[in-house]
Each structure stands twice: as C-alpha cells, then as structure tokens.
Amino acid sequence: MFEPHRGRSLQGVTQVKVPRSVIVIGAGIVGASTAYELALRGVAVTLIEARGGAGLGTSYANGGQLSACEVAPWAGPEIPGLILRWLGRDDAPFRLRPKMDPEQWLWLLRFLMRCRASARAERIPPNLEIALLTRARLAAYEREIAAAGTPLDFQRKEKGILRIFRDMHALKDAEKESAIITRLGLEQKVLTPGECAALEPALASAMQRGDIAGGLYAASDSSGDAHLFSRGIADGAARLGVTIMNGTNATRILTDSEAVRGVETSQGVIDADTVVIAAGTETRALLAPFGIRSWIYPLKGYSVTLPAPEGNAPEVSITDEARKIVISRLGDRIRAAGQAEVGGYDLTLEGARARSVLDALEGVLPQTGPQRGAAEFWCGLRPMTPDGSPMIGAVPGIEGLFVNSGHGTLGWTLGPGSAAALASLICDAASQPDLSPFSINRF
Ligand SMILES: Cc1cc2nc3c(=O)[nH]c(=O)nc-3n(C[C@H](O)[C@H](O)[C@H](O)COP(=O)(O)OP(=O)(O)OC[C@H]3O[C@@H](n4cnc5c(N)ncnc54)[C@H](O)[C@@H]3O)c2cc1C
C-alpha cells in the first residue's frame, strides 16, 4: 500500500503542492511524530499543544505495547455479548454509559455494524502496514536523534509480547485470527503453560495456580513509555527547527475560499497554508465548524503504574486475555492498563474502576501486591473510530487541511507510522502513499 505511486496524477504530473508552512495541532504521540516527520522533509512547522508539554493527554500513561501482531480492531463478534454480560458492574472491563447525545448513538450504531468477524479481519492488513511502518520509523528516530546528540530514551523493551489465555477455546480463536498476521509475514508461537512461565518467569505462580491454559508469543513486538517518547520526539522536532507552542489552545481553523490560511489560537492568529489536526478526541470539535463528522468518540481507559517488584518483575510485555489487561515493564516501574468505557468526554478517575486494574494486575502477578500502596492511577480517552483504524489524510473540500487522528486502542502502535505516511502524502511529490483505507469519509 505504501509503495510509491503516481495514480492521482494527470498525464504523469503529480499534483502535490508542497506546503510552505504547516501547523500541527496536538503534541501527543501522533502530533509530535507528525511534526518531526514534516520537519525532516524541510517544511517550516509549528506544533501547537494546549497542555504544558508533549504527551500529557491520552499518550501519557498508556499500556506501553507496540503490538504489530495485535492490530485487530476492538469491534468484534464477542463485544456486544461482553458489554451485556458486564452491564451495571463497576469493574466491567467494557462499559456502556448511555448519554443523551446523538453523537454517542450514531457512533455506537456504526461500531455495532463493525462487530462482525469479517469486518474485523478486513482491518488487520492496513493496520499492520502502518504498525510495520512504526517499527521502521522508531528504529530510524532512535538512530537519528542519538546522532544529533541526545538519545531518544523511552525505556523500550524488545522482549516481545505474550498473550496468555485462561481457556483453550479463547486460545484457539486467537490462533485463528493470528493466522492472518502470520500470512502477512509476522511469526507468532503458540506456547504451553510451562513454556509461558519459562519465557517469562514472573508468570510462574499464575502457571502453578492453573491460570494459564496457553499463550501466543509475538517475539518481534516490543513495549515502551509513550510519554517519554512523545517528549523525546518533540525535542527532536525542535532541534530540526519546529516551533513548539505549549500551553496554546487552537480555537479555530481559518480558511479563505475553501483553503487553509491559518489557525486562531489562545496566543493569537498563526498563518499557515497547511494544518494537520492531531488533537486526539478533540479532533471532532475542530472539524465540526466545517460540518464534517470525524466519527471519533472517546473510549475511556485506566492504567496503574507502580515500582517493579525486585527480583521477579516481568521483562516480556503481557496481555492477560481473561482479565482484559496489558502489562508492560517501563524501566524500574511496571504498568498495567485496561478498561473500556463508552461514556463521553468525562475524565473523572473512578476509584473502583482504577482499582479493578490494580486487582487484575495482582491476580496475574501476585508479587506486585506489596507495592500496592505506591500505585499511581491514571485514566485517558482513546480517540476511537468505529472500525478501529485511524483517519489519516486530506479533509475533502478544504485545501491544505489534513487529519491524523482516531488511533483508538492502537495509538502507540500506529502513531509514528501514520505520521510518516501522512508527511509523505503532504510533501513527497514523487512517492504518494495510498492512504485510502484510512480516508476520513470512509463511513
Ligand atoms: C488505558 C489506555 C491504554 C492504552 N494502551 C495502549 C497500548 O498498549 N498500545 C497502543 O498502541 N495504544 C494504547 N493506547 C492508545 C493510545 O494511548 C492512544 O491511541 C494515543 O495516545 C492517542 O494519541 P494522540 O496523539 O492521537 O492523542 P493525545 O495523546 O490525546 O494527543 C492529542 C493532543 O492534542 C492536544 N489538543 C487537543 N485539542 C487541542 C487544541 N484545540 N489545541 C491544542 N492542542 C490540543 C491535547 O492536549 C493532547 O495533548 C491506550 C490508551 C489508553 C487510554
């Protein structure tokens, strides 16, 4: 898909107007990477961020997994049943909080229409292609930024991701789905409970208790701290000449005759001929004045971060499919993340839901129990599209306006890849990627 092509040209002349100045709105994983990628291509970039620095929104304390082998959308045949089964429970890993909000109902309707095995399978190849681009770009960023003098340290662990299952049915289903990934060239291994514990000794007690029926191991996947990454890549972008405006709210995108001319911000108007909206769940509000629906809705999740237990903390990133949490080792800390709530933009941290992630972590790794008192809780809003793929590309009808948003449960896995693909679309006249699977008007 990302092979260069000239399909949109007339008589062999590619119609890319290389921008003079670009504003990127939002400095999460996605926006900070986009600013860096654009600056690499020699464009003048301003990165506007409402918060005090990069990576302080949803990119702050996510599950840490860079999971190319697990890029299936959240929507799937089992989800409606799971939501019903857990209805009304505070600790439900999936929760629907109905609102008097047509946006929520329209999103849910589209989402439910995607809860089919075929719809899920259809999204795996395009997502995987972006995830593989992320892999390649992360390796390049690490090289480039280290060469510029300061290493890009985001506590990356290249020990793979191990999915553990409590029953054989779930493992068999996952194996079937993973066959798509295997056919596309990424190897995953089915492990016995003993092999799971041999690979990751921190799982020994879960294995002895009979909590693990088997595992699926993706050795080529990795994990790392998305907040440290966002900060590091924003610093790298600044060294390439990007103007960073933290604490600046973009209030409106300004257009003239259906072409972008700048952004109105809390610090005044900034001129630009190109704008990229990478504002996570706020993307919707920035597009609304143009009468364009983003189809991005918040999916609230929780994480808990605590000091890693000495001696038997995991090195391999773990997905516990029964408890619905992911666990990553980040330096001398350990983080567990989970929960999915469709309930609007409210960022209140609910104690019961946050503690259920901590309880689930202790369930699988009881050795974390003594650190319970030092746990730091967090919640964030995943910018979700109904089909589990991001929106990457031009906004139809407004020249110079682009979106890179809606990465949902996969923003760390897909963010840097989507940044590279979009920067290529904006700047590289000779090698235009085909981003049609991610088009903003696909719904
Ligand atoms: C609990 C949890 C666990 C997760 N685990 C994983 C995982 O293991 N692996 C994975 O791949 N993904 C994971 N994700 C998903 C991932 O974290 C998100 O998809 C990703 O952080 C989205 O990045 P973003 O840059 O689009 O959004 P954000 O990080 O939210 O960045 C958007 C930025 O835009 C700014 N902004 C918004 N509006 C404006 C405005 N008007 N003006 C200026 N600035 C503005 C915001 O302040 C924010 O900083 C998880 C998410 C959660 C909640």
> In whole angstroms, what is the distance from residue 366 CA to residue 327 CA?
13
Higher-scoring residue by pLDDT: 285, 3? 285
Tell me how far the alpha carbon of residue 363 lies from the centroid of ligand 1, in angstroms: 28
Higher-scoring residue by pLDDT: 416, 3? 416
pLDDT at residue 344 in the model: 96
pLDDT at residue 1 in the model: 54
The pLDDT tens digits of the residues spanning 300-330 come to 999 999 999 999 999 999 999 999 999 999 9
pLDDT at residue 93 in the model: 85
pLDDT at residue 18 in the model: 78
Beta strands in 44-183 (DSSP E): 44-49, 65-66, 94-96, 161-165
* Ligand 1 atom nearest 407 alpha carbon: 19
The pLDDT tens digits of the residues spanning 387-411 come to 999 999 999 999 999 999 999 999 9
Q: What is the CATH number of the domain that holds 138?
A: 3.50.50.60
Strands 259-265 and 268-271: antiparallel
Tell me how far the alpha carbon of residue 372 lies from the centroid of ligand 1, in angstroms: 26
Strands 274-277 and 21-25: parallel
Confidence category of residue 6, pLDDT binned at 50, 70, 90: very low
Tell me how far the alpha carbon of residue 334 lies from the centroid of ligand 1, in angstroms: 20
| Within-domain flag for 149 | yes
| Within-domain flag for 10 | no
What is the token pair recorded at 330? 């980040």
> In whole angstroms, what is the distance from residue 219 CA to residue 149 CA?
30
**Residue 331 scores a pLDDT above 70:** yes
Mean pLDDT of the chain: 94
The pLDDT tens digits of the residues spanning 79-94 come to 998 888 888 777 788 8
Average confidence (pLDDT) over 19-34: 97
Count the neighbouring beta carbons within 10 Å of the beta carbon of residue 204.
15
| Within-domain flag for 14 | no
pLDDT at residue 390 in the model: 98
**How far from each other are the two terminal CA atoms of the chain, in whole angstroms?**
20
H helix and E strand count, the chain: 11, 20
Report the percentage of the chain scoring pLDDT > 90: 87
Amino acid at 147: A
Based on the structure, what is the number of domains in the chain? 1
| Nearest one of 223, 265, 227, 224 to 27, comparing CA atoms | 227
> In whole angstroms, what is the distance from residue 194 CA to residue 200 CA?
10
pLDDT at residue 15 in the model: 57
Average confidence (pLDDT) over 113-134: 96
Residue showing tokens 């075929």: 118
- In this structure, which residue's CA is closest to atom 25 in ligand 1? 28
Collect all residues with Cβ–Cβ distance below 8 Å to 163 and sequence separation of at least 6: 70, 174, 215, 216, 217, 218, 318, 319, 321
Beta strands in 179-296 (DSSP E): 189-191, 214-218, 222-223, 243-246, 250-256, 259-265, 268-271, 274-277
The pLDDT tens digits of the residues spanning 35-79 come to 999 999 999 999 999 999 999 999 999 999 999 999 999 999 989
Please give the radius of gyration of the chain, using alpha carbons only, rounded to the nearest integer.
21
| Within-domain flag for 434 | yes
The helix or strand, by DSSP H or E, that contains position 414, with its residue range, turns out to be helix 411-427
* Ligand 1 atom nearest 223 alpha carbon: 8
Collect all residues with Cβ–Cβ distance below 8 Å to 50 and sequence separation of at least 6: 26, 247, 248, 249, 250
**Residue 3 scores a pLDDT above 70:** no
> In whole angstroms, what is the distance from residue 113 CA to residue 422 CA?
28
pLDDT at residue 84 in the model: 85
pLDDT at residue 2 in the model: 57
Tell me how far the alpha carbon of residue 58 lies from the centroid of ligand 1, in angstroms: 3
> In whole angstroms, what is the distance from residue 299 CA to residue 55 CA?
18
| Nearest one of 24, 42, 405, 57 to 230, comparing CA atoms | 57
Mutate to test the pocket of ligand 1, among 282, 339, 346 (most ligand atoms within 8 A of CB): 282
Mutate to test the pocket of ligand 1, among 59, 128, 303 (most ligand atoms within 8 A of CB): 59
| Within-domain flag for 7 | no
- Which residues does a 6 A CB cutoff place in the pocket of ligand 1? 25-31, 48-51, 56-59, 62-65, 226, 249-250, 278-280, 282, 301-303, 326, 337, 380, 382-383, 405, 407-413, 415
The pLDDT tens digits of the residues spanning 124-183 come to 999 999 999 999 999 999 999 999 889 999 999 999 999 999 999 999 999 988 899 999
> In whole angstroms, what is the distance from residue 404 CA to residue 56 CA?
18
Mutate to test the pocket of ligand 1, among 376, 407, 418 (most ligand atoms within 8 A of CB): 407
Strand order in the sheet with 44-49: 243-246, 44-49, 21-25, 274-277, 401-405, 391-394
| Within-domain flag for 6 | no
| Within-domain flag for 3 | no
Collect all residues with Cβ–Cβ distance below 8 Å to 247 and sequence separation of at least 6: 49, 50, 51, 52
Q: Residue 287: which domain range?
A: 21-438
At residue 120's C-alpha, the angle toward residues 118 and 124, to 5°, is: 110
At residue 144's C-alpha, the angle toward residues 22 and 23, to 5°, is: 10
- In this structure, which residue's CA is closest to atom 2 in ligand 1? 62
Confidence category of residue 268, pLDDT binned at 50, 70, 90: very high
Average confidence (pLDDT) over 257-286: 97
Report the percentage of the chain scoring pLDDT > 70: 97
pTM attached to this predicted model: 0.96
Question: Sign of the C-alpha dihedral, residues 413, 408, 406, 330?
Answer: negative
Tell me how far the alpha carbon of residue 4 lies from the centroid of ligand 1, in angstroms: 29
- Judge contact between 61 and 354, C-beta under 8 A: no
**Residue 12 scores a pLDDT above 70:** no
